[in-house]
Structure 1
Amino acid sequence: MHHSTVRARLFSRRLPRHTVIAIRGELDIATTAALRTRILTILADTTTPVIIDLSAVSFCDASGLALLVGTQRRARLHGLAVTFAAPRPNVAKLLRITGLDHAFVVRPTLADAQLGHVRTDHRAAA
């Protein structure tokens, strides 16, 4: 079986109300170090809530979970809310069995995650 050398990619886009970080591919020991560096750079450079789009993550192991935990911890240090959006069934199951679904804010779709931030903004303004 042939694996391409790039097994994970990260795309970020800044929207008016939040920053979306989309991860594609495999979250494992081979990919997390490079992804962590890019994510920390994005977190240091934004002031809006962050949505981590997991819809294109095909595989996640313990090092991938550690990356997600570390991302949330670092975001909190910057005063940023983090929502994890649209994990595939295998990743959602991993979050469930490790209990991280209770530690994280997880939404079934990217649209739900975006709406959640808007509602929070309105509540804060009320």
Structure 2
Amino acid sequence: MKQLSEVPERSVTGQRLALKMTQEAISITKGLTKTARFTCKSDETVDFIHWYQHKDHEPPRRIPYITVSSGLVTHDDSGEREKFTAVTKSYTLALNKMEQSDVATYYCIGDIGSEFHNYKS
């Protein structure tokens, strides 16, 4: 398993800002029009899972995020509901009907109870 975030924990008024998250797949190769799935795991209970897409020479962009307690999947861009789907219980992101423009790095970030999940870049 590849450890994607080895960020030291920091504290602000008792809230941790970084958690250790693990993604099993280092690389996934799928044909055009196929579906790629990425699974994220945490040793700790998290309140939110944020999924990001990072293309070369562009800033990372948040795609869906999951509110774990309710199972709600929220998209910052409502036009992407069919492109990116998420499964709450397994913290899985599905990238549907892959296109050449989907080539990127995809990663997750866990969040425990902070206000930061409403941030939009």
- Would you call these one fold, judging by a TM-score over 0.5? no
TM-score, normalized by length of structure 2?
A: 0.31
Which of structures 1 and 2 has the larger relative contact order (alpha carbons within 8 angstroms, sep 6+)?
2
- Could you say which structure has the higher helix fraction? 1
- The answer to which structure has the higher strand fraction is 2
Which TM-score applies when normalising by structure 1?
0.30
